[in-house]
Amino acid sequence: MDHWFQRELQLIEEKGLTRKLRSFSNGNESEVIISGKKFLLFSSNNYLGLATDSRLKKKASEGISKYGTGAGGSRLTTGNFDIHEQLESEIADLKKTEAAIVFSSGYLANIGVISSVMKAGDIIFSDAWNHASIIDGCRLSQAKTIVYEHADMVDLEHKLKQSRGDGKKLIVTDGVFSMDGDIAPLPEIVALAKEYNAYIMIDDAHVTGVLGTDGRGTADYFGLKDQIAFTVGTLSKAIGAEGGFVATSTIAKNYLLNNARTFIFQTGLSPSAIEAAREGISIIQNEPERREQLLNNATYLRLKLEESGFVVNEGETPIITLLIGDSHEAVQFSEKLMDEGVFIPAIRPPTVPKGSSRLRITVMATHTREQLNTVINKMKKIGKEMDIV
């Protein structure tokens, strides 16, 4: 089979789309070491710095001491510990829902919900920029999937209007979109869902711990309550651990527990991940200053880059995209930054539309003002060299 692999990989190479791993020898702190060299890290999802926080590390090791390193079975057989249930009730409390159910990752949570809830005869309305795990959930479901233009409420309404039938309808959207960091127009989605009798599922992977009261998420950010059937999230970004969840009603949780294959046929989340996540959630609620620092850092960096003449996406999330356009230039910019000791990846088609290659920057609460200024100065310098600003 090696011949086949070679040919396939060559096709990827010819398109300039080969992916490679980089090996980090420390955690996602604001400064990282890659192949023995130091870099300022500006592309991590460890938004609040909790993945490397000593309190989470301590709780994780306590979890291991008490329960071991693995859960030993699926939640429905031998792998359901009291701490799984405590974590679920703490997530429900954070999200202000009746219940929550934990999966081994956000990816598996999305697949589990969509594939088990949406059946033949049902219709899913999915934003064109939704995360791959939502797309895969739609593919695994027997329902029909209709993709609407990104955040385009006219197109969504048009498609809702055209779709007749007695089946269930589900509108599914990222809360904050991974690539552009823009927030889904949830109030409009809620209004359309009401008018056309659809349910709403939102993926708050980049939002939980970041936006809304206590980092509660997109619905809270817009002051909406009880209109969302399923809120999916991850424990691996702002919360700083690993795993995924669905915040929902008690009855829907019971349904998922009995039907979602990615829940039923998966070993329970490991004790270290559970205990780290519980500590992360508690810190998020008790230390709002971390979130404030994160959002302040994002605002500062966005403003300074704009002032320097770069084209930056508007918004308030910690995902900042700096539009370059040409994919070779974007890669060159990123490589020059690497030479200067700054880690910011270039994002090219097919991940983003042609002609909109960009640098994708994420800030963390743990970036110091000095680190932010260093990056701004280096970007300005390279931008001038390359005639971009």
Ligand X SMILES: *Cc1c(COP(=O)(O)O)cnc(C)c1O
Q: Using CB under 6 A, list all residues that contact ligand X.
A: 105-107, 110, 131, 133, 174, 178, 203, 205-206, 234, 236, 244
Spatial separation of the C-alpha atoms in residues 127 and 231, rounded to whole Å: 15
What's the min distance (Å) between Cβ of 216 and ligand X? 17
Spatial separation of the C-alpha atoms in residues 82 and 320, rounded to whole Å: 39
Question: Which residue number, 279 or 376, has a Cβ lying nearer to ligand X?
Answer: 279
Question: Which residue number, 205 or 344, has a Cβ lying nearer to ligand X?
Answer: 205
Spatial separation of the C-alpha atoms in residues 138 and 125, rounded to whole Å: 10
**Shortest-Cβ-distance residue relative to ligand X:** 106
Cα Rg, the chain, nearest whole Å:
21
Question: Which residue number, 32 or 235, has a Cβ lying nearer to ligand X?
Answer: 235
What's the min distance (Å) between Cβ of 286 and ligand X? 23
Question: Which residue number, 208 or 371, has a Cβ lying nearer to ligand X?
Answer: 208
What's the min distance (Å) between Cβ of 46 and ligand X? 12
The DSSP bridge partners found for residue 346 are 359
Question: Which residue number, 105 or 357, has a Cβ lying nearer to ligand X?
Answer: 105
Question: Which residue number, 280 or 383, has a Cβ lying nearer to ligand X?
Answer: 280
What's the min distance (Å) between Cβ of 317 and ligand X? 12
Catalytic positions, please?
A: 178, 206, 237
| CA-to-CA separations, 214 to 94, 139, 218, 221, in angstroms, rounded | 8, 34, 12, 10
What's the min distance (Å) between Cβ of 166 and ligand X? 30
Centre a 10 Å sphere on the Cβ of residue 61 and count the other Cβ atoms it contains: 14
What's the min distance (Å) between Cβ of 99 and ligand X? 19
Question: Which residue number, 63 or 106, has a Cβ lying nearer to ligand X?
Answer: 106
What's the min distance (Å) between Cβ of 316 and ligand X? 17
